[in-house]
Amino acid sequence: QAKSAGRNTLRFFDPLMQAEINARTRLEAELHQALEQGEFSLYYQPQIHHGQPCRSVEALLRWHSPQHGLMLPAAFIALAEQSNLILAIDHWVLQQACIQLAEWAKNPATAGLSIAVNVSARQFHQADFVSRVSALLRESGANPTLLKLEITESLLLMKLRDAACKMNSLRAMGITFALDDFGTGYSSLSYLKQLPLDQVKIDRSFVRDVLENSNDAAICKAVIALGQSLGLAVIAEGVETSGQYDFMVAQGCLAVQGFLFSKAMPASQLPGWLSQAQPHGMAENAAAG
Ligand code: C2E
Ligand code: MG
Ligand code: MG
Ligand code: MG
């Protein structure tokens, strides 16, 4: 709102706005502290491949704040992204995911499980992003073929060449790529063709009403068909009901992620979840989540 008023507008002191600035400044300080005090953790949401045992998870950041309790990324990622704080946070996330991969590799119950990590634009556009990732892989001993990076369309805006170049270097190490939240950004189908992607993720906003809204159904079908014709895997996020799941499977989208099967959970709970999960990704074991 302040922005729309324009730069040269004379403003009176606004206590509400000042309160908001104070709150943001405080949150930023708390986030710095969170990194130092080890208040962040990664939760893992299983990805379900129809008819197969679970073999991949998405890492989702959680903040155990002494002041606010369990905080979801929506409450703090946007603020962190406005400063270099996101670089430190995302570096920690990637490091933690690599360490987790190496640890899971040692346990027969979790060996071979891959992790998808969300990458922010600022992190990806760092000049030394490729060497940072390779250093984290080396230091942890993680298998690069089990690391997937989730990027978004907005990250690709403008710097398409640079992005493709970085992606190719990372791919040469064995890392794979998913295009997250597909359809919500400034989509250009040419991205899909120009970039070395492995997977597109249908955004939750199209999945939510897929059974009731024929536009959403058409979008989901189109993305699935597009993925198939370009040789990209397609995964639907935010599947909450067996009706939505049946729709996806019927359309040929055999990979899904959503509360129907499981929410994201701490790493410690994952072996237990894996051992009781049905290999067919059936809905019966999901309702508890
Ligand atoms: P995303 O990458 O699209 O992640 C999917 C989000 O949808 C997660 O929310 C997940 O918990 C939620 N979700 C999954 N299945 C369902 C479902 O069936 N129903 C509903 N209602 N929600 C579902 P979360 O963990 O709150 O993360 C939100 C966003 O924050 C992520 O969206 C991602 O953009 C960002 N994020 C999460 N972790 C990280 C991180 O480590 N680094 C960065 N840079 N961003 C992150
Ligand atoms: Mg994601
Ligand atoms: Mg997503
Ligand atoms: Mg999304």
Q: Which has the higher per-residue pLDDT, 134 or 21? A: 134
Q: Token digits for 115?
A: 């992790």
Name the helix (H) or strand (E) containing 88. helix 85-105
Nearest atom, ligand 1, residue 181 CA: 3
Distance 15 CA to ligand 3 centre (A): 37
**Ligand in closest contact with the CA of 258:** 1
Q: pLDDT, tens digit, for every residue of 184-226?
A: 876 667 778 888 999 999 999 999 999 999 999 999 999 999 9
Q: Which residue has the tokens 């999901």?
A: 286
The response to whether residue 238 sits with its C-beta less than 6 Å from ligand 1 reads yes
Query: Tens of pLDDT along 24-48?
Result: 899 999 999 999 999 999 999 999 9
Residue nearest to atom 33 of ligand 1 (CA): 118
Say yes or no: CB of residue 286 within 6 Å of ligand 1: no
ipTM above 0.85, yes or no: yes
3-state secondary structure of 40: strand
Task: Report the nearest atom of ligand 1 relative to the CA of 86.
Answer: 44
Q: Is 72 in the pocket of ligand 1 (CB under 6 A)?
A: yes
Pocket test for ligand 1, best of 35, 45, 60, 248 (most atoms within 8 A of CB): 60
Chain centroid to CA 44: how far?
10
CB 169 within 8 A of CB 131: no
Greater pLDDT, 130 or 18: 130
Is 47 near ligand 1, meaning CB less than 6 Å away?
A: no
Buried b (16+ CB within 10 A) or exposed e, 112-135: ebbbbbbbbbbbbeeeebbebbbe
Residue 69 alpha carbon to ligand 3 centre in Å: 24
Q: What is the mean pLDDT of the chain?
A: 91
103-112, 138-147, 157-166, 208-217: least confident range: 157-166
Measured by CA distance, the residue closest to atom 23 of ligand 1 is 238
Q: Residue 180 C-alpha to ligand 2 middle, in angstroms? A: 5
Cβ atoms of 166 and 175 closer than 8 Å = no
Q: Which atom of ligand 1 is nearest to the CA of 240?
A: 18
Q: Is the CB of 240 under 6 A from ligand 1?
A: yes
Ligand 4 centroid to residue 37 C-alpha, Å: 29
- The per-residue pLDDT for 286 is 44
Question: What's the 150 CA to ligand 3 centre distance in angstroms?
Answer: 8
pLDDT value for 131: 98
Indicate if ligand 1 lies below 6 Å from the C-beta of 120: yes
